[in-house]
Structure 1
Amino acid sequence: MTETRLPVRRALLSVSDKTGLIELGCALAAHGAELLSTGGSAKALRDAGLTVKDVSDHTGFPEILDGRVKTLVPQVHGGILGRRDLPAHVDQMAEHGIAPIDLVCVNLYPFAATVASGAGDEDCIENIDIGGPAMIRAAAKNFDHVTILTNPKQYAAVIASVGQGGTVLAERRAYAASAYAHTAAYDSMISRWFAKQAGEILPPVLTLSGTRDDLLRYGENPHQKAAFYRDGSQRYGVASARQLQGKALSYNNINDTDAAFEAVAEFDEPTVVVVKHANPCGVASATTLEQAWIAALRCDPVSAFGGIVAVNRPLDAATAQRISKIFTEVIVAPDADAEAVEILERKKNLRLLLTNGMPDPEAEGLAFRSVAGGFLAQTRDAGRVTEADLRVVTKRAPTPQEMKDLLFAFRVAKHVKSNAVIYARNGATVGIGAGQMSRVDSARIAARKSEDAAKEAGEHTPLTQGSVAASDAFFPFADGLESVVAAGAVAVIQPGGSIRDQEVIDAADAAGIAMVFTGMRHFRH
């Protein structure tokens, strides 16, 4: 059965993003469409040699209020909303001299770009489009008779359809769905901007929007469907990255890469983070990335196989050469030199992502998690502990090197799933215990993995001997503290706040170790 095609006899083109506008206008004009337009769009079309009728000439009503009102008139909205299949609509349109408009091409004032530029309130408000969303919604509602375009990526298909006699119902319906998503996302941005201006971090109504970047092969497991959406934020990470090589990223790749890059951004010195299943399995800071890689890998070389590697400096050739010696799923870096890229090109299954910058670990933002019937929202864990925040609670105070390692370990703990216990020494993790129901178990698992890593390195002493230990939350009983002491830790950092804090402090004093309280917890479920 042949699909009914609706020809485009009259089109209204009014866009902020003029990509593809001339090609679309030429195609429509070539097939007999009258072109209506406004402002800069009309000028661009005329400059290309096309005949264009100003909307004000079409409506008989001038643009007023500095251009705030130019399309909000019956001659425009009646032409868009009128149903051609209802005689009463057709008669009323004829009675009032309203000509049908068969295609509307509109994209909106650049509100997001204006906000991102740091513009003041007045400029931001002036870039809230009113007439554009009204026309888009009207055309989308009347998709039986009108084609609505909101994205230059849609133009090529419409040009092809117009060449075949017009658009068909299925494509008009699809464009209508895209149009409503477009205006919903636009209103969402504006709503959140107003909430932010009012100091409402968690407003009574929270709207979210995202643009699908890619359909993924599957989700966490092959039977689950998944996609990656961009939310329009300017935060450096997976969404900002250029992928230089390797096959498409999977759902788990993206999740793990984000975890790794957010973790490595915590550190000021050259740092490497190795992540497996969203948990760091090796973290180290050093004077060079190469040295940091060697130390990070030493923590857990078994788990590092097939892991994600993040660095906080441009990737250099020496580090790339070392990383390439083991199977790695993804390397993410702010940049890379040409020699490093050339070395990694030989690893065809390795994905190399360059983000062009590092995320600010102290920046504001919201994090979300879905639950049945809704979702949870909270501010990002942007908390950072410095030496000035620490309170020594034991008879022995940490040495300067222990203090440095304690702060390092606690920053790592922020990115390890709870319950988390981290052992570190000389700016590198030497044991990581993650995601256990008991803090004692996390401490023991980390110590056991440290023993395994020592054996892998041909050493007889566990790496945790002489280390410091960090706990993401307080020790509820002394047994957790006693476990890290048994593993060889000589200093401990923890939030404190348990009703049994004194019991834990007494156990630390009995063991002769130093302990500091942070007053800040870093649960990461």
Structure 2
Amino acid sequence: MAEDLKKMYRTIVEDPFPSELRITFGDQTLIYKKKRWEVEIEPGVFEKKGLRYGENPDQEAALYELVAGNLILGECEFIKPGLGLISSLKESDFIQFGKHPSKINLTDIDNALNILRYLTEKPACVIVKHNNPSGVAYGTTIEEAFLKAYKADRIAAFGGAIALNRPVDKACASAIAEQYFEVLAAPEYEEGTIEILKKRKSLRIIRIKKLDKLEEYAKYRVIEFKSLIDGGIIVQVSQLNKIRKKEDLLPAVAIKDGIEYRCLREPDEREIKDMIFGWAVEMGVTSNSVLFVKNECTVSIGTGEQDRVGCTEIAIFKAYTKYADLLCYEKYKIPYKQLELEIEKGLRPKAQKEEIDEETKEKKAGLIGAVMISDGFLPFRDSVDVAAKHGITAILQPGGSVRDWEVIQACNEYNPPIAMMFTGQRAFRH
């Protein structure tokens, strides 16, 4: 029975989907071809196979590439054929198939690219787990970017998907190979790196050559489909990030009973950079979401909550949890939870945990000076008050609440005042 359970995760499920799809919008037709790759199903035996399975082993799935058609709706022209990233992968792009890709493996990389297309100025890394980023960072080198993104949430990064916007060098490859990941995508791999990475037999190593031109994809929209339980479909236009530079930010201003409320402190240059960086990350986070950013690296990401203050509290809790775990791992080479267990069993002194807890508390889990990013407006001041206790210095949010004045007032009550800017754009993602 145990072997059968393991086998289902490695079995490639045959899908019933047609080799071609045609989607018609009025008098315009888009044509898609199903992707299949020549894979070695057993030593010396090769067959054409599509996705391993969908989100779970009992769900058939297929990947389609747009090969013909050009959709124009209203004044919006959508992405054209010939610009494929994930959907146009060839056998040669899979440097190592690993366990053969499933839907989740490819959609995780796709969402990483959704974020990465707005972060092209410097070496950047996005690590995604279950279609949400666990860590995102800029670095002076691609190795530094990876390490910062990894350390932002070492726990969630386990088994995640990595996307990099620069070629992988030996230093970066060595750092990646020390940990367990499911997928790695990069524009290129320098000489000697593949041998290092292939030590991880299950790692899918993917080359996506167009990643060096990823900024071009920041202007393209696609049609998004949502199938309903009754067989109906909702279609919508994909969202583009409108906050790309300092000039795109709006002042936090509100009028209440004829009185103008305005933030007393403007964000400094570092906070502005973190706001722009953080909003790019928000493009790939499930709503409701709140995240914290410092020095163009995520500190904590709170995702998918029903209420705004609850999401803020969860993001803070995660920051403390991940910070303590990283301290423990760097000092004792074990996870924080293992440290707790070994102390409980009398295998380690309690003082080891107390020291880590004290440092985490003193540093406020790295939140001191962080910028808070919210994908929706703050309906009450409670999120400000919760975050302010942990040292955040600035906030970026869409604005537009009837209580914007109250939120601005809350920011001004702190010493020094908390800076806040509006985006004028909501970033919900379901």
TM interval, short-chain normalised: 0.7 to 0.9
Alignment of structure 1 residues 362-441 onto 2, 5 Å:
362-371=219-228, 372-385=230-243, 386-393=245-252, 394-441=263-310
Does structure 1 residue 342 correspond to structure 2 residue 199?
no
Distance in 1 (CA, whole Å) between partners of 2:62 and 2:372 is: 39
**Corresponding residue SS for 1:408:** helix
1:477 to 370, 380, 392: 380
- Residues 457 and 373 from structure 1, CA distance in 2 versus in 1: closer, same or farther, beyond 3 angstroms? closer
Structure 2 residue aligned with 1:252: 104
Structure 2 residue aligned with 1:501: 404
Distance in 2 (CA, whole Å) between partners of 1:283 and 1:240 is: 25
Q: How many residues align?
A: 332
Distance in 2 (CA, whole Å) between partners of 1:261 and 1:236 is: 12
Tell whether the 8 Å contact from 1:219 to 1:251 is kept in structure 2 after alignment.
yes
Deviations 1:255-303 (A, max 9, x none): 1121112222220211000100000000000111111112111111000
Alignment of structure 1 residues 67-146 onto 2, 5 Å:
none
Structure 1 residue aligned with 2:155: 302
Tell whether the 8 Å contact from 1:420 to 1:432 is kept in structure 2 after alignment.
yes
Tell whether the 8 Å contact from 1:406 to 1:470 is kept in structure 2 after alignment.
yes
The structural deviation recorded for 1:236 is 4.2
Distance in 1 (CA, whole Å) between partners of 2:218 and 2:173 is: 25
Deviations 1:173-194 (A, max 9, x none): xxxx98xx76x74xx6xx7xxx
Tell whether the 8 Å contact from 1:298 to 1:457 is kept in structure 2 after alignment.
yes
Structure 2 residue aligned with 1:243: 94
**Corresponding residue SS for 2:87:** helix
Alignment of structure 1 residues 4-403 onto 2, 5 Å:
185=22, 203-204=25-26, 207-214=29-36, 215-232=50-67, 233-241=81-89, 242-245=93-96, 246-268=98-120, 269-358=122-211, 359=214, 360-371=217-228, 372-385=230-243, 386-393=245-252, 394-403=263-272
Is the radius of gyration larger for structure 1 or structure 2? Answer: 1
The structural deviation recorded for 1:521 is 1.1
The structural deviation recorded for 1:366 is 2.1
Distance in 2 (CA, whole Å) between partners of 1:448 and 1:235 is: 41
**Corresponding residue SS for 2:366:** coil
Tell whether the 8 Å contact from 1:433 to 1:443 is kept in structure 2 after alignment.
yes
Greater fraction of residues in helix:
1
Distance in 2 (CA, whole Å) between partners of 1:216 and 1:294 is: 30
- Residues 288 and 400 from structure 1, CA distance in 2 versus in 1: closer, same or farther, beyond 3 angstroms? same
**Corresponding residue SS for 2:387:** helix
Does structure 1 residue 516 correspond to structure 2 residue 405?
no
The structural deviation recorded for 1:311 is 0.6
Q: CA RMSD, aligned part only?
A: 2.1
- Residues 496 and 423 from structure 1, CA distance in 2 versus in 1: closer, same or farther, beyond 3 angstroms? same
Tell whether the 8 Å contact from 1:237 to 1:261 is kept in structure 2 after alignment.
no
The structural deviation recorded for 1:408 is 0.7
The structural deviation recorded for 1:391 is 2.1
Give the TM-score normalised by structure 2.
0.73
The structural deviation recorded for 1:206 is 6.5
Distance in 1 (CA, whole Å) between partners of 2:82 and 2:223 is: 13
Give the TM-score normalised by structure 1.
0.60
Tell whether the 8 Å contact from 1:263 to 1:415 is kept in structure 2 after alignment.
yes
2:389 to 486, 490, 501: 486
Greater fraction of residues in strand:
2
- Residues 205 and 469 from structure 1, CA distance in 2 versus in 1: closer, same or farther, beyond 3 angstroms? farther
Deviations 1:29-83 (A, max 9, x none): xxxxxxxxxxxxxxxxxxxxxxxxxxxxxxxxxxxxxxxxxxxxxxxxxxxxxxx
Tell whether the 8 Å contact from 1:384 to 1:411 is kept in structure 2 after alignment.
no
The structural deviation recorded for 1:456 is 2.1
**Corresponding residue SS for 1:244:** strand
Q: For structure 1, list consecutive stretches of 5 or more residues without a partner in the other structure.
A: 1-176, 192-202
Letter aligned with residue 401 of structure 2: S
Q: For structure 2, list consecutive stretches of 5 or more residues without a partner in the other structure.
A: 1-16, 37-49, 68-80, 253-262, 328-358
Tell whether the 8 Å contact from 1:276 to 1:303 is kept in structure 2 after alignment.
yes
Distance in 2 (CA, whole Å) between partners of 1:429 and 1:368 is: 30
- Residues 298 and 255 from structure 1, CA distance in 2 versus in 1: closer, same or farther, beyond 3 angstroms? same
Q: Using the aligned pairs only, state the percent identity.
A: 37
Distance in 2 (CA, whole Å) between partners of 1:373 and 1:438 is: 30
